[in-house]
Amino acid sequence: MKYFIMQQDPRILEQPSILDSPQDIDPIEWYEGKVVNDPKVPILLKLSPRSSDFRGDIIDGILTLFHDCLRDGLVKLGVDNVQYFPVELENQFGEIEIGYSLVNIIGLLDAVDRTASTIKFVDDGSIETLYSFKIDPEKTRNFRIFRVVGAPNLIIVDEALKDELISSIDPSGVWMYPTEEYDGWS
């Protein structure tokens, strides 16, 4: 089974990004892979003034947002380890945009195949930086979407889910590429 990184497409200029996190939301908690308590709703997030008018199905950055189309596609495909919390986005003109949810992907997995990957380790043997890496399918707990220890900011999907998403909704502004092609930055 191949695995892919799913992210906002950095090849599209001036993609939207979130300016900062509300005081009652700690972004680090959203990368730990644990169930989070419902935040106060509505959640108002401000878009960076450098955000263009383009809105893809993922907005990455300090927090991860999925468009309703991507959320609905994942739900329809049976993905059940993601929490969704509707947000309101305030653009640079003070206008409110809807149609996105803050996502919490349940599952921060130690699933990197350490013998088949390029990894920089710290002295205690934990992962400092992932580069090109492979996922050990035996360690995925059958999750089709998850985050990985060593790079919890990345969203990993299995090949079948990637293909099903492309054939069912063809996500806009989303880039899915093999984990083996990761360079530590993308």
pLDDT of 90 > 90? The answer is yes
Phi and psi torsions of 69, nearest 5°: -60, -45
Please report whether residue 82 resides in a domain: yes
Number of structural domains the chain divides into: 1
Asked if the model's pLDDT at residue 52 lies above 80, the reply is yes
Give bridge partners of residue 46 from the DSSP assignment: 90
What is the spatial distance between Cα 92 and Cα 138, in angstroms, rounded to a whole number? Answer: 46
DSSP 140-186: STT-SEEEETTEEEEEEEEHHHHHHHHHHT--TTEEEEEGGG--S--
| Rounded mean pLDDT, 99-114 | 95
pLDDT at position 186 is 58
Top-confidence residue, 86 or 13 = 86
186 occurs within a structural domain: no
Give me the domain span that covers residue 53: 3-181
Mean pLDDT of 66-74: 98
Asked if residue 127 has pLDDT above 80, the reply is no
Residue 173 has pLDDT above 70, yes or no: yes
State mean pLDDT over 134-163: 96
136's tokens: 């050990």
pLDDT of residue 125: 74
Please determine, for residue 114, whether its predicted confidence score (pLDDT) is greater than 80.
yes
pLDDT, mean over the chain:
93
